[in-house]
Structure 1
Amino acid sequence: MNTRSLKLTTLAVAAMMLAGCAGSSAASTEPADLEGGTPAAELRLGYFANVTHAPALIGLQEGIFEQALGDTELSTEVFNAGPAAIEALSAGAIDATFIGPNPSINTFIQSGGQSARIVAGVTTGGAALVVRDGIDSAEDLAGTTLATPQLGNTQDVALRSWLKDQGFQTDTTGGGDVSITPTENAQTLTLFQNGDIDGAWLPEPWVSRLVVDAGAHVLVDEADLWEDGAFPTTVLLVRADYLAEHPDTVAALVQGNLDAIAWLGDNADDAAEEINAKLEADTGKPLDDAVIDRALQNVTFSADPHAETFQTLVENGLEAGTQKDGSIVGLFDLRLLNEALEASGADPVSAAGLGEDGL
């Protein structure tokens, strides 16, 4: 298995986002023919070394994906945040990726509905704004500097939207009432420890790392901003042309995701150790037990992508100034997922009118 790391600078991502805004906003709603195609010789899969991507980590660590894919060769790439993964997906460098919802929305709108489809959910919850001592309310954030994983990623959009709701102005160049500095997660921890930033809106395990290792406290748990605390953190996104050409391979990947989620539910006592083993392999260092235990308490693994939340996410991205307006009808193709769920006796999930679900 070939694992490589791909990183983008904030400037490169900003240029990519601006270039993408020239695309059509009219989304294609033509569904892929899932009866045709051939099994792929290779599946190139992206994911992040985050606890919010635990089904990906377990799927690789336990050989679940390789078993599901059979003769299809699996190769992987590790990303820091969604926009970098989207650039690789758009360039054809990877075929599918575990990713946050906002970059998925961005690529779909910017491509006029041609680029990719969400084929399954992965994780809900596990994101928060953590801050230094002395910041105890939104009003205390005036004049501060906060970090996010990358410009336009899901946590970046969440922070910008929340700050706007609190009456603060921000911009994508770090100006405004609160300065937002998109920064790689590991560097964010160092900057916070050195007192160079005042907080960050992050996914797990970085929320827990700043809390446990650096003395931060949670100012906003994103779960508190959503009905029933359910908001999508990670989904499984596949290139639209790959889905059309190799539906059987995508079905195998979807099944692997379901099997990895089931493994996490069935092996709760071993989950932290196995996730940590993969994190160590990818990053060179495992998490402290207190960090990973805290992180796992804040996430839920589910194949339901919560499509009903995505129009709100679009509105948040527009508020944040990190995406263009456009339709997301056609973003979801959950037919393969629902076939697998039906075969296992589980309830199907809805695309909420935003694509295909076979219901």
Structure 2
Amino acid sequence: MTATSRVTSRLGLVGGMMMAGAIVASAALAGCAAQSAADEAPAASTGPADELRLGLFANVTHAPALVGLEEGLLNDALGETELTTSVFNAGPAAIEALSAGAIDATYIGPNPSINTFIQSGGQSARIVAGAATGGAALVVADGIDTVDDLEGTTLATPQLGNTQDVALRSWLADEGFETDTTGGGDVHITPTDNAQTLTLFQQGGLDGAWLPEPWVSRLIIDAGAKVLVDEADLWEDGAFPTTVLLVRAEFLAEHPETVRALIEGHEASVAWLGEHADEAADVINAGIEAETGKPLADAVIDRALEHVTFSVDPHAETFETLIENGLAAGTQKEGSIDGVFDLRILNELRADAGDEPVSAGGLGEE
């Protein structure tokens, strides 16, 4: 059986702004801890791990994790290694757990992955596969019809420095708006738990939010929001990474056999999603219900799945732009991400299956 612990960040409208500085500070400390741990990592494998502690979010963009758990694909691949899971609301909280050694791997957005790599001097973690692209948007209330209407509004994101938070801040900067990490500026951004964002939006306490699926669709269908910006429209061919599979560097060095099994199970989950389109909504919804206690409405999950693509390709070619966005947003430090990818195991598995290799874009091993 998979043991599940629920680790969610619940930042309110005011609390999100008050905690912003603390989150940045704790992320930096976590990066230092990761570097220290990685410096002590053994150079050779110590064999398969007894346990793999995996992080994930109860989001449609984390469907490979949810399907892998529901269909037993991850457990089957891991064999004798026990799989335990922790559920997070957004990437920075998952990174804190990974950096502290509380989890070994996590499904997560690209921006927190970049942050931990830079903050640790390249020692904390490696992206070993992609998981999902697309499925993020800025949704707003009636009366907001153009970009100019955003001045003076209050918008939510899942957490300071998470992938959607960076996307919103960098996009607003491109549109000529000033923001800051404490909620000030021309547009007020408040990092807020996704479920609370829905409630606050319904109560009129928020004017909109930049969110991943299924929360985009929940605000549209359950709360009458409308899409002002689909993030896919901001990227060439509409392809941008929403979720990757990130592994703690020390764990990868100690247990490459276990990481290989994890990637095998992950690939099987992504393949299952491509081969079972008619069943996917029900299985993903069962996974969401298992983690949250409540399934999504059929209309919500059906709409959400229309905007997400599942692939093991992490779209490494976008990561330099993601760095630029993080710097523009003021949520990350300058630094190199050379080495952030280790796609060797993934590409070995793909070669065995006769598939084309996935590129690391010159940013790591492939």
Matches within 5 A, 1:142-291: 142-291=151-300
Describe the shift of the 1:181–1:322 C-alpha distance in structure 2 as closer, same or farther (beyond 3 A): same
Identity, in percent, stands at 72
1:121-142 CA-to-partner distances (Å, cap 9, x unmatched) read: 0000000000011111110000
| Distance in 1 (alpha carbons) for counterparts of 2:20 and 2:306 | 32
- After superposition, the C-alpha distances for 1:63-100 in whole angstroms (9 at most, x for unaligned) are 10000000000000000000000000000000000000
Task: Give the superposition deviation at 1:16.
Answer: 4.3
Q: Aligned AA for 2:3?
A: N
Q: CA deviation at 1:14?
A: 3.6
- 3-state SS of the aligned residue for 1:162? helix
Q: Equivalences for 1:44-193 in 2 at 5 Å? A: 44-193=53-202
Query: Is the 2:27–2:92 Cα contact (8 Å) retained in structure 1?
Result: no
In structure 2, give the amino acid aligned to 1:83: P
Is this contact kept in 2: 1:126–1:204, CA < 8 A? yes
Kept in 1, the 8 Å contact 2:8–2:87? The answer is no
Determine the C-alpha separation between the residues in 2 that align with 1:215 and 1:228: 28
Q: Which amino acid aligns with 1:50?
A: N
Count of residue pairs the alignment pairs up: 354
CA deviation vs aligned residue, 1:264-291 (integer Å, no higher than 9, x gap): 1111111101111111111111100000
Deviation at 1:35, TM superposition (A): 7.6
1:36 deviates by 3.8
Q: Distance in 1 between matches of 2:190 and 2:21?
A: 13
8 A Cα contact 2:158 2:211, kept in partner:
yes
Deviations 1:21-53 (A, max 9, x none): 5878xx9xx9x9998441111000000000000
1:15 paired residue number: 22
Distance (whole Å) between structure 2 residues aligned to residue 58 and residue 202 of structure 1: 21
CA distance in 2 between counterparts of 1:284 and 1:126 reads: 23
Cα offset, 1:13, TM superposition = 6.2
Moved over 6 A (4+): 32-35
| SS of match in other structure, 1:75 | strand
Task: Tell whether the 8 Å contact from 1:86 to 1:107 is kept in structure 2 after alignment.
Answer: yes
Contact 1:21 1:324 in 2 (8 A): no
**Following the alignment from structure 2 to structure 1, what is the Cα–Cα distance between the partners of residues 204 and 360?**
44
Aligned partner of residue 305 in structure 1, secondary structure:
coil
Q: What is the TM-score with the length of structure 2 in the denominator?
A: 0.93
For structure 2, the 5+ residue unaligned runs are: none
Distance in 1 (CA, whole Å) between partners of 2:92 and 2:181 is: 14
The offset of 1:4, in angstroms, is: 1.1
Are the equivalent residues in 2 in contact too, given 1:14–1:151 (CA < 8 A)? no
Instruction: Name the aligned partner's letter for residue 22 of structure 2.
Output: A
**Residues 346 and 7 of structure 1, relative CA distance in 2, 3 Å threshold:** same
Amino acid in the other structure paired with 1:340: L
> What is the match of residue 5 of structure 2?
4
1:236 match: secondary structure:
strand
Deviation string 1:273-331 (CA, Å, 9 cap, x unpaired) is 11111111111111000000000000000000001100110110000000100000010
CA distance in 2, matches of 1:74, 1:155: 28
1:317 alignment partner in structure 2: 326
In 2, Cα distance between equivalents of 1:73 and 1:184: 30
TM-score (norm 1): 0.95
- Tell me whether 113-122 or 14-23 shows the greater mean CA deviation: 14-23
Answer whether contact 2:138 2:208 (CA < 8 A) is retained.
Answer: yes
User: Counterpart of 1:42?
Assistant: 51
Q: Is the 8 A contact 2:20 2:182 kept in 1?
A: no
* Matches of 1:67 and 1:103, distance apart in 2: 29
Distance 1:87 1:166 in 2: 32
The alpha carbon displacement at 1:7 in A equals 2.9
CA contact (8 A) 1:159 1:201 kept: yes
Secondary structure, counterpart of 2:152 in structure 1: coil
RMSD: 1.9
Deviation at 1:2, TM superposition (A): 1.3
3-state SS in 2 of match to 1:164: helix
How many angstroms apart in 2 are the aligned matches of 1:164 and 1:225? 14
Residue 354 in 1 paired to residue 363 in 2? yes
For structure 1, which runs of at least 5 residues remain unmatched after alignment? Answer: none
Residue 345 of structure 1: how far off its partner (Å) = 1.2
